[in-house]
Amino acid sequence: MHPATSGLSSARHVTAAALAAVVALPMLWSLAAAGASAAQLEAWRALWQEPLVWRALCQSIWTGLASTLLALGLSAWILAATVGRLQSLEGSNRLARWLAPLLSVPHAAFAIGCVALLAPSGWLLRLFSPWGTGLTDPPPWPTTQDPWGLGLIFVLVLKEVPFLLWAALAHLQRPDVARRLRQELRLAHTLGYSEREAWWRVGWPQLLPRLAVPLLGVWAYGLTVVDVALVIGPTTPPTLAMLAWQWLQDADSTVNAQGAAAAWCLALVLAVGAMVLWGLWRLSFWRKRCTRGPVSLYMQTQSLPKRSLLAASLPGSLIGLVLVYAAVMFALLVGSITGAWPFPALWPQTLTWSAWQQVVGSHSSLWTSVWLALASSTAAVVWTVAWLEWAPARWQQGLMPLWMVPLVLPALLWVLGVHRVSLAWGLDTTGVGLWLAHTLAGVPYVLMALQGPYLGFDRRLQMVSATLGHPRAVFLWRVKWPLLRSALAAAWAIGFAVSVAQYLPTLYVGAGRFQTVTTEAVTLAAGGQRSLTSAFAWLQWMLPVLAFGLAAWVGRARRWPAPVPAKSQ
């Protein structure tokens, strides 16, 4: 090997090792700290003796599993109606543009808006009251905080569908993958399969295994969610995550250890559920059923219309999802300026800006949310770009499970480990500790957003730049990063939105000394202050919207004016 090449390879490995250590050290320390909490046998014994544990565990499994499967099914249907079209994969680009405003809505804000719609005194019942319901007072119906967890499942499904679609598009929009998938779908169609069967038998079986990590994250979040359950989740019985959160906040060390044991119990349920689903997928029976089978007579005789039923289903799925989001955010907006509003009047009698005046007065919460989101998202993007640029391919593949730990580990367990790391490092109740927690939480999302576009970049451009005598730094600064500015800006906006939505890390690492718009909104939702809660929830949504809008402006395509032909003499 040439000495210069050997030195460059060594420098690359040293840089990659340093980058890996920066993130791996706090993550591994957090895992070790969380694991140490499971060693107290008395805590486990006290956990199983708690009368509510088994019902709460069943409630968690039911809500988490139902929301995950429903979200996966709806996401698959939307993908089949867009990406599955054989003419082109342009539907994926159109779908990506729709996802930005949906991804920007935090879970807690969406749950608060759903309560405004579905509560016994909410918009939906008021809307139908003039048509013969005969109700003069809000009925005692469990439309929210229901004992079956249906409200929690409703919110989780509608919030996880955009995330799964985004994760799928991050893979499908890679040029090499899109080109191969288009060719395979066309080949399947020439064999007699319709566009629907071609997608389900060729495209979807290839995509589903690549969604394993996002699906595991959705399953982990649905199983252990706390902030959404506080707003709309069941209370009789509560989920096990809610019980664990209450025990972890107790000053008694014995009760605190019981909460840690409950968090580990959820982690074990998560691991067992993931292995069972993985085992079912690996069974040859299921794979053969998905990928093989004769072409039906209907499919053989069906020609490919210009506007098939599958394509026509897009307005009924994606646009319906957008309309639900619009209704939720409209309910939040009206709720933030509502004064006197007797039931069953459809519109408030008086409108007031008092809630927004209190929000403006709480400018410290807004400032904390903004600087945390800016600092953590920028740090996550810088680290991710450096890692993808300098780390060898085998390092990126081997360490990927470690970077996904904050996404797939139960939220309570992850926050418990991060909190103990902040205590050990002297970062508890400090801005640096809170920034570290938010950055680690955003790394998986930023990495998933950038990995596809970055690794799919055309390497021939680098060869052309090198033949022109430009060093690597010039190529990165003037060619690669400008061409990837749309993906970089979108990844930054996603990291910003993840930071704004963080509730448990802010609560535990900040120890109550740092208030953000998310902690304010969730706290007010538990207290029943409708207008002030809606105002904070609306503000919680506006911050990511502004970030996504800025990302869209930065990543917009440049349009150069056409040259004016010279006039002939």
DSSP characters over 389-425: HHS-HHHHHHHHHHHTHHHHS-HHHHHHHHHHHHHHT
Please provide the DSSP assignment of 76-92 as one string. HHHHHHHTT-SS-SHHH
DSSP 202: I
Per-residue confidence (pLDDT) for residue 316, from 0 to 100: 54
Neighbour count for residue 358 (Cβ, 10 Å): 14
State how far the alpha carbon of 471 is from the alpha carbons of 406, 461, 464, in Å.
37, 13, 11
CATH numbers and ranges of domains, the chain? 28-293+311-341+357-554 (1.10.3720.10)
Q: Which of 478, 164, 539, 488 is nearest to 335 (CA)?
A: 539
How is residue 545 written in tokens?
A: 């919207």
Rounded to whole angstroms, how far apart are CA atoms 27 and 404?
10
Distances (CA, A) of 240 to 105, 190, 255, 269: 26, 52, 14, 11
Give the N- to C-terminal CA distance of the chain in Å, as an integer. 62
Q: Torsions phi, psi of 395, nearest 5?
A: -70, -45
CA quadruple 40, 42, 47, 48: dihedral sign: positive
Residues 502 and 518: beta-carbon distance below 8 Å:
yes
Tallying the residues shown for the chain, one arrives at 569
Place of tokens 């840690």: 260
With contact defined as beta carbons under 8 Å apart, do 138 and 120 qualify? yes
Residue 241: HSE in the Cβ half-sphere, 13 Å Cα cutoff: 32
- Per run of 10 residues, the mean pLDDT along the chain (length 569 residues) is 54 85 90 78 86 91 94 88 57 68 87 88 78 70 84 93 88 75 81 78 84 90 90 86 88 85 90 83 59 49 42 58 89 87 82 87 89 96 94 88 88 88 90 94 92 81 84 87 90 94 90 89 80 90 92 75 55
Q: What are phi and psi of 391, to 5 degrees?
A: -75, 140
Residue with token string 């210069």 = 4
Burial class (CB in 10 A: 0-12, 13-18, 19+), 560: exposed
The pLDDT of residue 386: 93
Check residue 213 and give its pLDDT: 86
Q: How far apart are the C-alpha atoms of 132 and 120, rounded to whole Å?
A: 16
Contacts of 329 (CB under 8 A, 6+ apart): 105, 113, 538, 541
* pLDDT at residue 134, rounded to an integer: 67
Tell me the C-alpha distance between 143 and 122, whole Å: 10
Quick check: 446 and 384 in contact, CB under 8 A? yes
Whether residue 518 contacts residue 500, with contact meaning beta carbons closer than 8 Å, is answered with yes
Determine the Cα–Cα distance for residues 453 and 385; give it in Å rounded to an integer.
11
* Token pair recorded at residue 532: 């002030």
User: Beta partners for 239?
Assistant: none
Tell me if 203 sits within 8 A of 220, measured CB to CB.
no
**Euclidean distance between CA atoms 157 and 68, whole angstroms:** 7
* Token pair of 269 as six digits: 């349920």
